[in-house]
Structure formats: structure tokens, C-alpha cells
Amino acid sequence: MNSEANWAQAAQQMQETLGEGLKQAMSAMAGVGLGTAPGFAQLGMPELPKAGPPLQLDPAKLLEIQQSYLQEASALWNGGLQAAGAQAAADRRFSAEAWHKNPVAEFAASAYLLNARTLMGLADALQGDAKTRARVRFAVEQWMAAAAPSNFLALNADAQKKAIDTQGESIAQGLTNLLHDMKQGHVSMTDESIFEIGKNVATTEGAVVFENEFFQLIEYKPLTAKVYEKPFLLVPPCINKYYILDLQPDNSLIRYAVAQGHRTFVISWRNPDESMAEKTWDDYIEHAVIQAITVTQDITGAKSINALGFCVGGTMLATGLAVLAARGEKPVTSATFLTSLLEFSDTGILDIFIDEQSVQFREMQMGQGGLLKGQDLASTFSFLRPNDLVWNYVVGNYLKGETPPPFDLLYWNSDSTNLPGPYYAWYLRNTYFENNLAKPGKLTVCGEKIDLGKVDLPVYIYGSREDHIVPVAGAYASTQLLPGKKRFVMGASGHIAGVINPPAKMKRSYWTNDKSAQGKFAASQADWLKGAQEHPGSWWTDWSDWLKGQAGKQIAAPKTYGSRSYKTIEAAPGRYVKARA
């Protein structure tokens, strides 16, 4: 490639080749969406709404990408197989020794990484609105993650070496694993046979003291001689199971609350079946959130309680409190919101899935009845991090014949739940798409015009810094909506690992801001962070100190579960949490 003509021809070929890759990736999100791309449907690849108008590439950026590609490709080719290793070694998918001992495989990995960088550069060079560009970038990321040579036995040097070393046993075991996962309906992320709900996860001692068609209410056995007079109710998200808050004794937020002297109750959601296919958002607020508050009061005799909502559970708790406020009732003294959205202007990566067309489709599909299958939702969340939560296990389980190690959090992650269609369709339109919950008087829920500005009580708001489901700025936005005394705390890590961070392990950090502690909240989380102070360890201790200030005096711990009107139904964790989707 010495002449300008050859360089021009190479540039044209590169543009056509990579342009075709970009075209294929973009076409995957056109029509019915990514879910129909070859081989993706079987893995549950999430669907995206139809692509918008034709997109244009920035000519200057395109030229820059072309030149960069040609330089790197020329260096890779001229350097030969010996020079390929440096480019692939840094990527975890190609870091095994077998890749470096096989020059052809190493070269293929390096060439793939170069093409992936170039495709992502092309995606970033697209001109258009931010949402469309984000969709294209997401589609390209999915396509490139799926096309990695590590995902194919014919190209994966590490899997080939294992097949030779085990005399083919790894391939046989991989086929067995594949058949097992096809039968169970999802890719195994952990050895699920190791875990049993109530035996080695969800083990905090307690009893079910109330149930209806929506939930069971669990009361936990006190671990202290005295408890605070105001009981504590946890509202977990109904899009997954409550025991994320009670995995093991040493990382259980529920057990921690009990050990701090709180008389603790938790909602355990029923896993919906066809009998609940017509249940609505209003049903869940009236007959679950508000009902649980009332029953907790009745059992304990308390005039008011403290409550916590996690993720969608926080959105539901806030909605329930707004309904009660509209009725002139104030049964909750304080509320904690963990990685919850009340103001939906910043929804992060999930925004790419939401537009009028997609919302209308869901409304027509299941707005009057039906179920959103739990595995569909779980797959969407997994593909937000495809290399870590999908292809990593495809390679390990099927190409290498490995059994993933036992991990309680990943067992919970695979234990999906269904959602009633009308509930889901209402939630999509009125929160993620139209942000109506943040608009005073816009929504009527349970027969009441609701206004979060009337939910006037002390609140503790927590957001995780690396949360890709509830961006920390989105969690912070609740400080601008709720009128009561507020405390905002940011923790390190993501949506789950940031929340489940017990003090005893002394992991990570959290941030507070003294000015916000005095009620002076900046307009944005970025401005709040400028005056924030980092603290080593878990935010749980900060929250515990705050909650004790809301919990009243201490009284003798109860000797039995429930009350005369609410007898023990069964031991915790109860039947509902054990039902599979």
C-alpha cells in the first residue's frame, strides 16, 4: 500500500466493510427490534423501538476515523502475528494464555478490537438527536459484543485448548449445560442448585402475619430486648424478589435493621400469574402499599410508622404516600428512598427503549390484560452489560463446559418475576415516558389527584454513583420534589452492590454534604457533589443514625408475631417468594 490510489482504495473498502457492519447493527434495531437479530432471540436480546429518520455521518469525523483505522490496520498487518498480542492482552475476553500462544487467534482478537473501536467511532460520529444516537450506539455495542471471536468455539483458542486437555469432555459438558439452560429458559449465571430460599438465602427469622392476592407481610423476630416504638416497613420492588435485602446474615439489610432495634416488616410480593393479568398500578398502591402500612399500624398499635422503598418500591411508596396525603392522612413518620426515581427526566440507558410508539405497543399488547414475563425484563437488564452478564456465561457454560460458581446475588438475579400488563403499561407511560408523577395534580391514583409536594415528612434519599438503572442524578432529583427535611447520600458502586454494602466488610465509600444537611440543596447532583465529603465504608451506619432519630422511644420487644387479629400464617420467608415465574 504505497501509492495514494491503493490507500484510497483501502479507505473505500474499509468504509464499505465497516459501513455494512454499522448498517447491520442499526438494522437490528429497526423493524421489530434487536430481538429478531439472528441468534439473539434465543438469548432474550431486548427489543428497541423502530429507528428514526436516516442518519448522517459527520464528514470530518468520518475522515478522521478512516485515517486512524488505516494507520492501525497497517501497523497491525505490517507487524504481523507477533505484534498482535499487545492489542488483545488488555481485554479480559482475550487475556488467557492460550490466546497469546496461538498467533492466529491473537491476531483475530486484535483485528476484532480494532474493528469494534472503529464501529463505535462511527456510531459516535453520527449526526442526529441524542436519543437516536444513544440507540445506535447501544445497537452497535450489542452487535460487537455478540460478534467477538471469543464467543465461537472455532475462534476461541482458550476453549479449544480446554477441549484438547479434557479430551473433549468440556465440549460434552458444554452441550449438557446448553440443554439444561434451554430447559430452564435462561443462561445460568451461578450454580442455582446450591441455593434454596429459606435455607441459605432469605434466612432471617420471622413469620408471615398477613396476606392477600398481592403480597405477604413478613414480621421479623426481634434481636434486641427493646425495640423502637415506631415500626419499620420495607417496600421492595415488585419487579424482583424481596430477598435481595436478605441474602445472607452478614449482608442482610433486613437483619441489620432488626439488630438496630427496629420492629421490622417487609412486603413479599406475589409472583403474578394469569389470575392477576388485569391488575393495575392503582391496585398495587391501594391493596399492597397502603394496605401494608395499615396492617403494620394495626399489628403494632402505632399511630405512625417509618417506611423504606427500594427502586420501583420507592416509586410506589411515594405514590402511596401522595394518595394518603390527598386523603388527609399521615400514617408514615419518615421515608427512605433507595435508588428510586420520582422524577423521571434522567433515566439513563433505559431511555433508549421508551418512546410513544413503544409505549403504545405495550398498551395495545397488554394494557387491558396480560403478563410481562419476568425473563423478558431480566434479559433486558442483563443486556445492558452484555459482556459481563451474557456472553461471559455463554463462553464459560457452553464453550468451556464450566459450571459457574455459587453466588447468592446472581441466584437472586435469575429468580425473575412477572408483572401484570396494565400495571406495566401505566408505569411506562406515566413515569418513564411522560414523567407525570412529578407534575402536581396531573395523575389520579386510587381516586385521588396526587401531588408529591404534599408528601411533607423527613426523607433519606440514597443514590449509587455507578448505577446504570437509576442514575444518581435521577435519584438526587427527588430532593427537588419533596418538601420535608431531607438527607441525600451517595454511595459507591452500582444499583445493587452500592445498596447491599454492610458495614462489617468495610468496603467502598459514601458521600454526604453538610450544606444539604442544613436543608440547602443544590439544583443538581453535580453541584451537590462539589461540596460533598467522602467517608470510607458503608452508608448503612449513616442511615441507621438518621432512622433512630425518627423512631421514637424504645419499648419492650414483642414476644410473639402479629396480634390477636393477625395470626401467624406460616414461617418466613413464606410461600409467595418461592413461586417461580
- The secondary element (H helix, E strand) that includes residue 145 is helix 130-146
Residue 411 CA to residue 248 CA, distance in Å, equals 12
Question: Nine-digit cell at 126?
Answer: 453520527
Residue given cell 445506535 in the structure block: 136
Provide the 3-class DSSP secondary structure of residue 195: coil
Question: Nine-digit cell at 31?
Answer: 423493524
Burial class of residue 2 (count of CB atoms within 10 Å of its CB; 0-12, 13-18, 19+): exposed
8 Å CB contact between 337 and 318: yes
Question: Nine-digit cell at 161?
Answer: 485448548
Q: Indicate which residue of 98, 234, 311, 482 is catalytic.
A: 311
Conformational region of residue 568, where left means phi above 0, alpha means psi within -120 to 50, and beta covers everything else: beta
Cis peptide before 458 (omega within 30 of 0): no
The dihedral over CA atoms of 452, 346, 496, 207, expressed in degrees to the nearest 10, equals 20
Is residue 311 part of the annotated active site? The answer reads yes
Letter for the amino acid at 570? E
Residue 319 CA to residue 445 CA, distance in Å, equals 8
Provide the 3-class DSSP secondary structure of residue 206: strand
Residue 309 CA to residue 290 CA, distance in Å, equals 13
Q: Which residues are catalytic?
A: 311
